[in-house]
Structure 1
Amino acid sequence: MDTLSLTLRQRKLLHILQSHENLITGSELASQLNATARTIRSDIAAINLELKPFNAKIDSIRSKGYFFTAENGDKIRELNRINTAFFTRDDRIRYLAFQLCLTDTPINVYDLEDEMFISHTTLENDIHTLKLLYMLKSPFINITNQHSMLSFEPDERKRRHILTSLIHRHWNYNSRENAIYENEYVSEEILDQMIDIVSQCLHKHRLRMEDTNIVWLNIACTIMYERLSSGYMLPQASPVSKPDASALAASNEILATMERLFSISIPPQEYDEIYLLISSAHILDPSKITLANTCRIFDASVLDMAAEYMELLQEFYHLDFSTDEDFYLTLLQYIRFILAPVHRFSTQENPSISKSHLITELELAWAFQSIALKHAGYYLNEEELLHLAYCISGALEFHFELHPEYKLSTVICCHEHMTVAWSIKRKLLGAYEKYLKVTALIPVNQAKNYDFSDTDLILLTVHKKISDETLGKIIEISPYISPNDIRKLEIYLQSQKVSFLYRNTGSVRSFFETAYWHEDYEFDNIFSAVETLGSEFVDKGIAGREYLSALLQRESLCSNAYCSGLLFQFAMTPAKQTQLSFTVLPRRMNWRNHKIRVIVTAAFTAADRTLVFKLKHFFYRLNKQCDITNAVYSKDELLQLLTAQPDAHI
């Protein structure tokens, strides 16, 4: 049988390129896969060796990106799916989870080592990761490892959740299958029929669900069939209240159709489970929701949480979203969704990419945690926070429209004819008018005599120093505005367009000068690093024990690690004084798949809370500009790098 001998990362890379009609750059691929551009190039070379016998290839156009070409794309797509192989830790953990879900008796760990050709230490590390994924997170299944025997607790609902999630992860939304793995457990024929049944029933009863929840429903129904056929059913429980008539009708019809087509008997508790999936996940029709009818559509708890969050944003961050009706109604839908008994968000995109695009918004979303705990009894997880951050991102866009005073005063210095400068202005305003106010178009040779004191941004078409006062304000661009120019401008705008949040905080250089410094720390794991560095602030009386708890909680729920080089960790619990510490690691540390050389830990007073936005953007820009992982090995080297940054950046 034909196969492709590829690692999981290489399989993901191939899938990404097969799913894109347009060119995709090496840096974009590297970001999605948490790898370097050099690694991507090596992977593509390895993939092309495997693809050569099948007349397929990953090709490239210089300075534009990569693309996939093949005589038979479906053949390559099928070959790219794994059956049973243990190339990576992900493969092994997936296999372990399947085996533990499908057996009633404990599994001998030595048999597993032989079966997967791995060492005892490797298996122990995999079991630890398995616990992090499913014991400390939903579905919170108990995992027992005693006397060399490994087992899941006999909870059918939790086991089904894991089985469903294993197939749901890496789902190919361009097709009807998992993009990376073959369906080891479920029948593809049954799954294919379920996709049609669910689609028809939801359409008939006019129910809208997001793609990720429809796929989950399709897989959950298929898993139900497989488990019932094997003699496993959910335990009997009190009947579920079913006030949602449309969801009830759809769930009844889906399961009745299954009973008829597949000749199985489905007990009442299974009907309750599918009803909960549909009633929790279906989306309200936004065209039918207005400010006038929100009290009839949403529960009082939803309205209260939205009101408290809007007040919090205004009180602490001076963000008044009260006139943004569209945001308010979307926020209500979001809160209704997270309060539902069963809810899930799409996890297809690498969360690190989302975090890098939502630097400010994620902190504003984190402020919702106290409200979630008060009303729902739990904190939001990373996926829930990121989707709230996307909601905030949209609200900020409208906020800029209402506040033209936040626009960045921009001067274009162009060495070409004035028609070129005017063209640059029109192109930029066409894309970024909400953020930029072009105040002058001047020739480069006149720049030395121009007063830039009230200018936020200078766009320069040549490589030339103007004056010391303009350092940090200049972005060099080409007259025709290249894709690279756009990327540089967007990185700059990402921080500067929200500078109104921290405009009155002043320079942070003084905090660098008073920071604590460490060069001799080495840590066994992430949480050891968080606890050690956070405890320093507690031991020195700068913050209380609640600060350390908040720091550990933040890492557990939504890590601050989203790129390699420098990690900036903090907690918003008010401290007695604002303090930073810098830790330069003698050996880089793997922190959630990111290679970390420097850890910056921060505590803030209540008055300095908005400094977090300034520092997050500063350190993100520093990571983008410098290869900190391979360029910084000591306090002196880091200090030199920090000192060299223009005042306009800090």
Structure 2
Amino acid sequence: MRCCKNETLPQDELAQRLSVSTRTVRADIAALNMLLTPHGAQFTLSRGNGYQLKIDDPARYQSLQTQQSPTLARGPRTSQERIHYLLARFLTSAFSLKLEDLADEWFVSRATLQNDMADVREHLLRYHLTLETRPRHGMKLFGGEMAIRACLTDLLWTLAQQEPSHPLIVSTTLNTEVSQRLQSLLPDIFSHCQIRLTDEGELFLRLYCAVAVRRIREGYPLSECVAEEVDEKVRHAAHEIAELLQQLADKPLSEPEVSWLKVHIAARQVQEIAPSAINADDEEALVRYILNFINTQYNYNLLNDKQLHADLLTHIKTMITRVRYQIMIPNPLLENIKQHYPMAWDMTLAAISSWGKYTPYTISENEIGFLVLHIGVGLERSYNIGYQRQPQVLLVCDAGNAMVRMIEAVLARKYRRLRLPAL
């Protein structure tokens, strides 16, 4: 809560700004005063006006402002922040947690946290994780170790996209020293082993490694992981990273840990566009199935588009690895793809749905969205079918109707894609 010394803020205005009740404001002010009083300051209430910050000892208050006190660390304020913090707590706690204790720590009511728990449970359920309530002890998370790591890594990855220095990443959940060492050493390993990654893929692997170090240190190693054979570069990189994690965790790494590292690297590496180097029947079969389906059902023949075939084969090779091991990857462009490439979306969705009858794998909408981009480019290349945006402009002129029509004609001639809607 921010308040200047000479500024008075009414209770109702504070409640509106913070999206909480006035009762919560009063409780927060009382909690803040308990923290501020030893530092020579407190909030005082002026009847009819509001709260004002009163500084009794400027020297002590100044020292408070210049230091980073853990007791005054920013806590979750919005519902979305509370959901993130609750997820992080349940995913990293070895013991049962009571909502009453968390409510006191974050200066909110238990009822507020109880309302957020529905979203928390729904999020955990996507990873087949459950919360069980124990009388007089609280709630505890149950589920597989792979699922716990996946859920925690995905959460931190999402937060890192929004705010790289988020407290849950830099201090609360991950060890700062471990994160810094991984950030400096992992790129060298990937470069040495000739593993190409996107920035997002490298960030995800770094976060996963940091999560793995924490879990191994706390006594939660992977006990089982059967991974299929990967290429030599991925295998070499996984073993080098495993040696690094072993040093950071100060504990030996089991073979399942190394196998799971191989899966993550294989699922996120960027393949070279060289179809001759890819000899996987599953990937080739899916590419042919998609293109044959589009040709048969929609009468668009893309079978002879070698570039499209190569692009799909390159993408699907890593996609199959992800869906096989249920590794989720976000697609921030999904809604735009649905909106601007509806025809390619319908074609690809129908093809994947039909293919799904013959395979145990389930392909998410995020993955389908990436395939749609390739199909859309193929349609535009072969049939000139694609999303062409026509910018709309409003022509405003006070020189009369004849001048408006003349300017309109000049614009239409010079900028053919421009659309001038009639008013």
Q: Which residue of 2 aligns with 1:249?
A: 236
- Summarize the Cα distance change of 1:91–1:304 in structure 2 as closer, same or farther, 3 Å threshold: same
Matched, 1:208 2:196: yes
- Superposed displacement of residue 83, structure 1: 5.6
- Give deviations 1:512-552, integer Å, cap 9, x for gaps: xxxxxxxxxxxxxxxxxxxxxxxxxxxxxxxxxxxxxxxxx
- Superposed displacement of residue 318, structure 1: 2.5
TM-score using structure 2 length: 0.69
* d(CA) in 2 for partners of 1:184, 1:154: 22
Q: How does 1:161-560 map to 2 (within 5 A)?
A: 161-172=150-161, 177-178=165-166, 182-235=170-223, 237=224, 240-260=227-247, 263-286=250-273, 288-289=274-275, 293=276, 297-340=278-321, 341-342=324-325, 343-347=327-331, 349=332, 351-401=334-384, 421=409, 424-428=412-416, 460=420, 475-476=421-422
- Superposed displacement of residue 94, structure 1: 1.2
SS in 1 for 2:416: helix
- Superposed displacement of residue 179, structure 1: 9.6
- Superposed displacement of residue 419, structure 1: 9.1
Conservation of the 8 A alpha-carbon contact between 2:217 and 2:249:
no
* d(CA) in 2 for partners of 1:254, 1:367: 40
Matched, 1:93 2:83: yes
TM-score using structure 1 length: 0.47
Conservation of the 8 A alpha-carbon contact between 1:164 and 1:216:
yes
SS in 1 for 2:139: strand
SS in 2 for 1:196: helix
Q: Specify which of 98, 102, 106 is matched with residue 108 of structure 1.
A: 98
State, as a whole percentage, how many aligned pairs show the same letter.
Answer: 17
* d(CA) in 2 for partners of 1:7, 1:380: 40
Conservation of the 8 A alpha-carbon contact between 1:301 and 1:375:
no
- Superposed displacement of residue 310, structure 1: 1.6
Q: Which residue of 2 aligns with 1:150?
A: 139
SS in 1 for 2:415: helix
Conservation of the 8 A alpha-carbon contact between 2:379 and 2:385:
no
More helix by share: 2
Conservation of the 8 A alpha-carbon contact between 1:212 and 1:345:
no
**Structure 1 unaligned runs (5+)?**
9-77, 433-458, 461-474, 478-650
SS in 1 for 2:369: helix
- Superposed displacement of residue 238, structure 1: 6.0
* d(CA) in 2 for partners of 1:7, 1:328: 53
- Give deviations 1:554-598, integer Å, cap 9, x for gaps: xxxxxxxxxxxxxxxxxxxxxxxxxxxxxxxxxxxxxxxxxxxxx
- Summarize the Cα distance change of 1:322–1:240 in structure 2 as closer, same or farther, 3 Å threshold: closer
* d(CA) in 2 for partners of 1:419, 1:103: 68
More strand by share: 1
- Give deviations 1:220-261, integer Å, cap 9, x for gaps: 1111112222232122x3664444110011111122234446
**Structure 2 unaligned runs (5+)?**
5-13, 20-67, 391-400
SS in 2 for 1:254: helix
* d(CA) in 2 for partners of 1:401, 1:388: 18
TM-align CA RMSD:
3.8
Conservation of the 8 A alpha-carbon contact between 2:152 and 2:211:
yes
* d(CA) in 1 for partners of 2:134, 2:249: 40
Residue identity opposite 2:146 in structure 1: R
SS in 2 for 1:151: strand
The aligned length equals 345
* d(CA) in 2 for partners of 1:7, 1:319: 54
* d(CA) in 2 for partners of 1:390, 1:352: 12
Residue identity opposite 2:356 in structure 1: L
SS in 2 for 1:170: helix
Matched, 1:126 2:113: no
